[in-house]
Amino acid sequence: MTILVIAEHDNKVLAPATLNTVAAAVKIGGDIHVLVAGLGVGIVAEASAKILGVAKVLVADNAVYAHLLPENVAPLIANLVIEQNTIYSHVLACATSNGKNILPRVAAALDVDQISEIISVQSADTFKRPIYAGNAIATVQSNASVKVITVRATGFDPVAAEGGSALIEAITTVYESGKSCFVDEVLAKSDRPELTAARIVVSGGRGMQNGDNFKHLYSLADKLGAGVGASRAAVDAGFVPNDMQVGQTGKIVAPQLYIAVGISGAIQHLAGMKDSKVIVAINKDEEAPIFQVADYGLVADLFEAVPELEHAL
């Protein structure tokens, strides 16, 4: 049994989520191969080869894969599964925008079902995944010849990024659909940690009242070395950009410490952060649902409590 893991990267740095995906592959069992598709990805390939538990790294280095367009990457993966006598039993990718964009196409090409956002491996064909915004956990079993799976990174502790010595093998086959092309991307730049990788996250909700008041959270986050997030209500109200959204339709986070400020705790938001190790809630409404999942709750006016907390720090 051999498992193909799709590396998440930006052509320069291997994303930490890849280590969580490999961890899921380790629990399934068998040889693990990592596919690095992109342009100028030599450093990413070397980093992938050092991951503990990886036996081989396949490198598809070509301009058509530079931006991981799914129309080009999906046939590459599908053909790897069925060609060259390399029959993979599982194809895994992290449940990022790339993984969610590429793997459904791979599953369709292979004519198999896809299993989305698993959080646990029961056996080689049985997995657990959240449903109903995380309020229930479904156990699903697949008898497909190839299991195509996206992995929720927060469900698995990452494997070691060092200690491996995998073989690196180049793939020269190029698949260019001609159906789409890369136009542009605008990346949000911040000196603070990226939300999904931050050990501490401070998030604000509708209780912040407006975008200007998020300055209190930015100042607090800088003291803590934390990332800053927001609820969907705050994003929909235009307080902050949507790349800060934490929740079922935003980013899924599981930091060591999550501080929810002025967030009521709607189901959609809880689905994105309730796996955090320690949850702190600050809200003036003592009936707010967020207190049901919080390890520590402070019923107070956030505009008094947050400055006091920052001053104490």
| Residues of each annotated binding site for FAD | 206, 231-232, 245-249, 262-269, 283
CA separation for the pair 111, 181 (Å, rounded): 26
Phi and psi, residue 69, nearest 5°: -60, 125
Q: Tokens 């502790």 belong to which residue?
A: 157
Q: Are 260 and 206 in contact (CB under 8 A)?
A: no
Burial class (CB in 10 A: 0-12, 13-18, 19+), 181: exposed
Tokens at 49, concatenated: 């080869």
Binding residues are 206, 231-232, 245-249, 262-269, 283
Residues near 312 by beta carbon (within 8 Å), at least 6 away in sequence:
none
Helices and strands counted in the chain (H then E):
8, 15
Tokens of 191: 């000196």
Rounded-to-integer distance, Cα 238 and Cα 240, Å: 6
The residues pairing with 3 across neighbouring beta strands, listed in sequence order, are: 32, 90
- Cα–Cα separations (whole angstroms), residue 132 to 14, 160, 249, 257, 293: 32, 32, 12, 25, 17
Q: Three-state secondary structure along 83-94?
A: CCCCCCCEEEEE
User: Who's near 194: CB < 8 A, 6+ residues apart?
Assistant: 227
Q: Is the dihedral of CA 216, 220, 221, 223 positive or negative?
A: positive
